Each structure stands twice: as structure tokens, then as C-alpha cells.
């Protein structure tokens, strides 16, 4: 007798060793059809594995989070099988699941996009055949013999410990794999080959170059279609293309990974920083500025020279070694230490928009998202232990307020003490509980990443969510128990004793450049009125109206609006179309009727045209819209 305890506490009795599929079938045929695996005593297993002992079983269906990874694991095998049918000389290496899909590294002749449809056609045949997928366990010696003519798989098996090794078989295809997998290939109903790139075996440039074939898979064709639509939308929003089209920024070989911000880009940049300064001033911050190049001894004191040296740019000045700062923190420590501090002035909140440089490998540089020179909106907060919770709570409200101004949602993660860390158990307990209590009081919901904190303290990471529901880690709140110790920072407590302050590192935007790029894609270049590089374009319908249009433009500029006057001899339709392509929020047409009545005809970015707007109404509505930093274009 085998007793199976289900997730809801129900116990089912079997007079034989049931498989997960047997358990599902005993509940309902519909459940069995949708099951893909079973979690047996906390471990994911194949649905066809016999359960020979009393166990707790959770049935994994196509609706469960774990199912998608299992599907993609199987889809990688289906793709590899299809490729071997088409290219028998190919040699397989590894095929893991990755975010948004999977890939397989294969030693073969270069593939092109023309090959993708052939591979997908062969994959569909394999899927339609609903080939059963079976696990087979063999001794290491048998695995070595099986792969004697497969150099990559042979090397992988040789690196495994002695003992049982698992294979997975589907028809003529066999692969070295731990599993679990779907019951049969028919579950892979919606799969697509996405792209191909080069990769080195074992990521070693001295070894063979392979073809890395990427794919993705979903249980439902609608989900795949939605994902492909998402990719098309993301492509349209590519910040590098929009940045070039709108003349916002550029990159040049003379400074790889170091963006050049153009005049129109600086308008957006300054709008961001003006808002940042306004919010921080209201929240009781002071702004500081520290040098960009600092002596090596400082970086040795901070620990960066030992732990971060390979990412730092160095130089020599007067025979002393210096480094360009990769972060602002050590300079902030020097500032705090320039004078004595009392508990009465804590918490002390010091913010800095600091230019930092980090040596990133050229292969990972990616527009504004991954650069070598960028500005961090750092802040260093110094406080007493009993102020941790209230300060964290205030920070969370500040970050929420600032993100919501851009229409960005966010998720929270609390990362706790890692294996390698500094500080006492008591210090970590105070720091972690301070963060946890603040998060509980904030009541926004969060996940805990056990052991993923920094070596110097626990942290909260904020992952913002853009218009396409992509997440980006921007804001962070980190408690640091290292730098105050290294720099011998202190304050005079209420009892007149010197004590170490609790210190928090904190960012909202993170990298200003990266946040700029995120906003370009979030808004698809259609910046809200308060941020737009050009807020209004005036289009006189003929040359006779240009002088009047110049007068109107002057009035708008006097009110602080960023206005351009289109004097070109192009047709009005062409001018309107060009302004729309430039994502100008207000396209204002001026004809004889508008001049006579002292009104404006205004086309907004939501596609609506508003006629007969008086100048007074225009300035009133537009002014309030900008002052409120509104996101929509419902102005009139």
C-alpha cells in the first residue's frame, strides 16, 4: 500500500507504486491531460516516475509557474532533435532554459534566418507525433561508451561523478539530462526559433566556436503570439533608434560606452534632475559634490582596490597612483568625517549626482543600458539604530512618489545576510529587522532573497516595471556596516559617548543614463509635456503668417515653453506628419482665422485636434499640465 498526500491534505491509497499520472487520473481525466510533472516530497519529477513510498505529491499543471520551465526544457530537446534530422553532422553540447526561452549550443556550420523555418517545420513534425519522452538511467561507463563519438557530451560525462547518469529519449533522439521533462513532445504546441549567435565551448575563446540557437515556447499559441507582439513593440521602442531619430544622444568610437548627450537630450536630462532636486530638497536632503579622481590610498581604505580593482580606471599624478571613482561612497565618507556630529543632527541625508566610470567589457555594452561612464543619484544617510525603520519607510515613500510620476510600478526584494559577510550577528539582526519592519509597515508586498545581501549589509532592491511590463532594477536601499568602520565615522550620542552611525546607501534612478534609456522606451519617445525636448511646434499655413507666428512663439518662450517655428516651404500635411514623427506634444496650426480671432488650433499627441483655443486658455491649461507633471495629453 502506498499513501499519497495531496496539496489540499487529501490522502489517496494505492495498492501499487503509482506514477504522478496515475495520481492525476485518479482525480479526473481533465486534470491528467493538463499535468506535466509531479512535485514529490518537494522535488520535481517526471510524471511517469513510479512512487514506491508514502509521499506528499503536488501535481504540476500547465497553469503552474514551474511548468513553463519544464516545457522549455523539453522544447530545447525538440529543437535539437529537429536540427540533427536536418544537419546530421552537427554535434550537440548544452541546451539550458534561460529567461524568456532556451538555447542550444551546437558545433555546426553557421545557420541563417532562412534555416529557421526549416527547423520549425521539423519541430512541428516531432510535436505532432506526440513522441513519448522516457528517462533512462545508466552507469557512467555505459554513458562514456554511448558518447564515444560525441566529443562534447563525452567531456561532460567525464566531468560527472561516478554513479548513475540519466538520459532522456524521444524516438531516435537521446540526450544527457537531469530532467524533468514533459510526458510527450505533443505538449510543445507553440515554439519558435528566435535567433542565432556565436558562442565558445565552455566560454573559452581558445576552444571551438559554436552556434547558439535561441528559441522560446509556450503552452498556448496565443501566449506565443502575444510574446512576439511584445518583441515587436520593444523593437519599435528601442532607445538607441529613438535617441538617434530625436537627436537625444549618440555614441562614438572615440569614447566607447560613454554617451554624448545632445542639446535636446539635455532638456530631458535637466527635467529629470530638476524634479530629482525638488523632491530631495522637500525630503530634507542636502546636495554634495566629490572629486572624480581620488588617491589610491582612499580606495585601499574603502576596500575597492582589493575587491573592485579590475573595474576601475587608474592614472598617475605627481608620481602617486589615483583612480577614477567607480562609485561615490568613499568621497561621501570623507565629507561626513570633516567635522564632529551629534545625535541631534541625525538623520543626516546627503545626496550626490556623481559621475562614475567602470570598466565594462566591450561585449556587454548596450546603449544607455550598459555604459562605462554614468551618473549615479547616490545618497548616503547617517542615523542612529532606532531611526532605521522610519528612514527606510520614508525612503520607500520617496521612491514610490518619484516612480509614480513617470507611471512606473515596482516590486520589492529584501536580500539577507550572505555566507561571506562582515559584522556581528547582533548588527545583522538589527539591520535586517529594521528593513523588514519598514517593509511590513509599508505594506506593499515583497519577496525575500535569503543570503543575497551585500557582504557589508542587507538591502532592499526596487524593480520598476515599464509600459511593456518589463522589469528593471534601479532603486536600491543598502545598509552598510563596513564603511563607517573603515573610515572611523562616529557621532556623539545622548550619553556623550562616541558611537558608529548606521549608514544607508540609496539610489532612486540608479544610473541617470540608464533611467533615461528606460524612459525613452517606456514612453516610446512620446515624452510627457513637462519632459519633452520640444513642447510645441508652430505651423503657419503660409509665409505671410510667419511674422505673426514669430510673435506667438515669443509669447510662449516668455512663459517658459520650449517652442520651435517651422518656416519650411513644405506642405502643411508634411509639416504635421514630421512633427508627429518627432513626437512633439503640441502641434499648433496658425492660419488667417486663428490670427484674426487670436486663437490657436492645437493637435495633441493623443491624436485629437482642438480648435479655437484662446491664448489665455492655452497658457492656463498648458501651464497647469506642466506644473502637475501630468503624463497624459488630455490638456484641453
Residues with catalytic function: 329, 358, 376, 378, 380, 459, 505
Among the listed residues 550, 528, 488, the one whose alpha carbon sits nearest the alpha carbon of residue 337: 488
Question: Nine-digit cell at 416?
Answer: 539577507
Strands (DSSP E) contained in 108-230 are 134-139, 164-170, 173-176, 190-200, 209-218
Among the listed residues 130, 78, 82, 124, the one whose alpha carbon sits nearest the alpha carbon of residue 101: 78
* Strand duo 101-107 + 91-92: pairing: antiparallel
Measured CA to CA, the distance from residue 43 to residue 487 in angstroms comes to 47
CA 430 to chain CA centroid, Å, is 30
Among the listed residues 53, 77, 59, the one whose alpha carbon sits nearest the alpha carbon of residue 3: 53
Which ranges of 59-150 does DSSP label H, i.e. alpha helix? 65-86, 113-128, 140-146
Cβ contacts of 366 within 8 Å, gap of 6 or more: none
Among the listed residues 403, 434, 441, 426, the one whose alpha carbon sits nearest the alpha carbon of residue 503: 434
The angle formed by the CA atoms of residues 558, 563 and 566, to the nearest 5 degrees, is: 130
Measured CA to CA, the distance from residue 239 to residue 216 in angstroms comes to 24
Which ranges of 294-387 does DSSP label H, i.e. alpha helix? 296-302, 304-307, 329-336
> What b-and-e string marks burial along 173-204, b requiring 16 or more CB atoms within 10 Å of the CB?
bbbbbebbbbbbbebbbbbbbbebeebebeee
Amino acid at each position: 500500500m502506498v499513501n499519497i498526500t495531496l496539496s489540499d491534505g487529501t490522502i489517496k491509497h494505492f495498492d501499487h507504486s503509482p506514477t504522478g499520472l496515475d495520481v492525476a487520473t485518479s482525480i479526473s481525466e481533465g486534470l491528467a491531460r493538463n499535468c506535466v510533472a509531479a512535485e514529490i516530497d518537494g522535488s520535481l519529477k517526471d510524471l511517469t516516475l513510479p512512487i514506491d513510498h508514502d509521499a506528499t505529491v503536488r501535481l504540476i499543471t500547465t497553469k503552474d509557474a514551474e511548468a513553463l520551465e519544464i516545457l522549455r526544457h523539453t522544447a530545447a530537446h525538440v529543437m535539437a532533435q529537429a536540427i540533427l534530422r536536418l544537419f546530421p553532422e552537427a554535434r550537440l553540447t548544452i541546451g539550458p532554459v534561460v529567461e524568456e526561452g532556451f538555447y542550444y549550443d551546437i558545433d555546426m556550420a553557421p545557420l541563417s534566418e532562412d534555416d529557421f523555418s526549416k527547423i520549425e517545420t521539423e519541430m512541428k513534425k516531432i510535436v505532432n507525433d506526440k513522441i513519448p519522452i522516457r528517462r533512462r538511467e545508466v552507469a557512467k561507463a555505459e554513458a562514456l561508451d554511448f558518447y564515444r563519438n560525441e566529443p562534447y557530451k563525452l567531456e561532460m560525462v567525464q566531468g560527472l561523478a561516478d554513479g548513475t547518469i540519466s538520459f532522456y529519449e524521444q524516438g531516435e533522439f537521446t540526450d544527457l539530462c537531469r530532467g524533468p521533462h514533459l510526458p510527450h513532445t505533443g505538449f510543445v504546441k507553440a515554439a519558435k526559433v528566435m535567433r542565432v549567435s556565436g558562442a565558445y565551448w565552455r566560454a573559452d575563446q581558445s576552444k571551438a566556436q559554436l552556434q547558439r540557437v535561441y528559441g522560446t515556447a509556450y503552452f498556448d499559441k496565443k501566449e506565443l503570439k502575444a510574446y512576439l507582439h511584445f518583441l515587436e513593440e520593444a523593437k519599435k521602442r528601442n532607445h538607441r533608434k529613438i535617441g538617434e531619430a530625436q537627436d537625444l544622444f549618440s555614441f562614438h568610437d572615440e569614447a566607447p560606452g560613454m554617451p554624448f548627450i545632445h542639446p535636446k537630450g539635455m532638456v530631458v536630462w535637466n527635467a529629470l534632475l530638476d524634479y530629482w532636486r525638488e523632491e530631495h530638497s522637500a525630503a530634507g536632503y542636502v546636495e554634495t559634490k566629490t572629486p572624480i579622481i581620488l588617491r589610491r590610498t582612499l580606495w585601499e581604505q574603502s576596500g575597492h582596490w582589493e575587491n573592485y580593482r579590475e573595474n576601475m580606471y587608474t592614472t598617475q599624478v605627481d608620481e602617486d597612483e589615483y583612480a577614477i571613482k567607480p562609485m561615490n561612497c568613499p568621497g561621501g565618507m570623507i565629507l561626513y568625517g570633516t567635522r564632529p556630529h551629534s545625535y541631534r543632527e541625525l538623520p543626516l541625508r546627503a545626496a550626490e549626482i556623481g559621475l562614475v566610470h567602470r570598466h565594462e567589457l566591450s561585449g556587454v555594452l548596450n546603449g544607455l543600458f550598459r555604459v562605462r561612464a554614468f551618473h549615479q543619484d547616490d545618497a548616503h544617510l547617517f542615523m542612529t539604530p532606532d531611526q532605521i525603520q522610519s528612514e527606510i519607510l520614508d525612503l520607500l515613500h520617496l521612491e514610490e512618489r518619484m516612480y509614480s510620476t513617470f507611471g512606473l510600478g515596482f516590486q520589492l526584494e529584501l536580500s539577507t545576510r550572505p555566507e561571506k559577510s562582515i559584522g556581528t550577528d547582533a548588527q545583522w539582526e538589527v539591520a535586517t529587522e529594521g528593513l523588514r519592519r519598514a517593509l511590513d509597515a509599508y505594506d506593499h508586498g515583497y519577496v525575500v532573497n535569503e543570503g543575497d545581501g551585500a557582504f557589508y549589509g542587507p538591502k532592499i532592491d526596487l524593480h520598476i516595471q515599464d509600459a511593456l511590463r518589463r522589469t528593471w532594477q534601479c532603486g536600491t536601499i543598502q545598509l552598510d556596516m563596513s564603511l563607517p568602520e573603515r573610515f572611523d565615522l562616529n557621532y556623539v550620542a545622548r550619553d556623550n559617548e562616541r558611537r558608529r552611525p548606521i549608514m544607508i546607501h540609496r539610489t532612486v534612478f540608479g544610473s541617470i543614463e540608464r533611467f533615461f534609456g528606460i524612459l525613452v522606451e517606456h514612453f516610446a519617445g512620446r515624452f510627457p509635456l513637462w519632459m519633452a525636448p520640444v513642447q510645441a511646434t508652430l505651423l503657419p499655413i503660409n509665409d505671410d503668417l510667419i511674422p505673426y507666428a514669430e510673435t506667438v512663439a515669443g509669447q510662449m518662450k516668455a512663459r517658459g515653453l520650449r517652442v520651435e517655428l517651422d518656416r519650411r516651404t513644405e506642405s502643411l500635411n508634411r509639416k504635421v506628419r514630421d512633427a508627429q514623427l518627432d513626437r512633439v506634444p503640441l502641434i499648433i496650426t496658425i492660419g488667417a482665422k486663428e490670427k484674426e480671432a487670436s486663437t490657436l488650433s492645437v493637435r495633441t499627441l493623443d491624436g485629437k485636434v482642438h480648435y479655437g483655443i484662446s491664448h489665455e486658455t492655452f497658457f492656463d491649461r498648458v501651464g497647469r499640465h506642466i506644473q502637475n507633471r501630468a503624463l497624459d495629453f488630455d490638456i484641453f
